[in-house]
């Protein structure tokens, strides 16, 4: 990933976190890393534990940001969620996987897909 892409990605994650907090979610973890990869955001929504993948793009030239979430990435996120749960000891009623798309251009557009997979 280039430095510019890292900057755009970090900006998108900050926007996503602000959005999640504005929706009443409580942030538990950001950029949690393990040997298998990284979870962008882990949050609590009432009794639900929510693993959030943030996809940020500067244009739709190559499709919507959420379109970058391929089946292999979904499998990896599920594995990472299991690892995070084992590592954290958190308890929850349900686990949910959300995707937040952030499109950065002349303005910023945020799309939140609850229970995306």
Structure tokens at 53: 């993948």
Tell me: the pLDDT tens digits for 77-114? 999 999 999 999 898 889 999 999 999 988 999 999 99
pLDDT over threshold 90, residue 2: no
Q: What pTM was computed for the model?
A: 0.92
pLDDT of residue 48: 95
Which CATH architecture fits 3-113? Answer: 3-Layer(aba) Sandwich (3.40)
What single DSSP character describes residue 93? S
pLDDT of residue 45: 96
Domains in the chain: boundaries = 3-113
Structure tokens at 86: 């084992």
pLDDT of residue 15: 97
106 Cβ contact partners less than 8 Å away, ≥ 6 residues apart: none
Tell me: the pLDDT tens digits for 3-16? 888 888 999 999 99
């Amino acid at each position: 990933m280039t430095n510019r892409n890292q900057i755009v990605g970090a900006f998108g994650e900050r926007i996503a976190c602000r959005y999640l907090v504005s929706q009443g979610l409580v942030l538990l973890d950001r950029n949690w890393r393990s040997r298998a990869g990284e979870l962008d955001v882990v949050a609590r929504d009432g009794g639900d534990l929510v693993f959030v993948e943030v996809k940020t793009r500067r244009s739709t030239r190559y499709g919507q940001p959420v379109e970058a979430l391929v089946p292999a990435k979904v499998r990896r996120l599920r594995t990472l969620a299991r690892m995070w749960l084992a590592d954290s000891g958190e308890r929850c009623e349900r686990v949910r996987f959300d995707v937040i798309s952030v499109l950065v251009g002349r303005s910023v557009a945020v799309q939140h897909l609850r229970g995306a997979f």
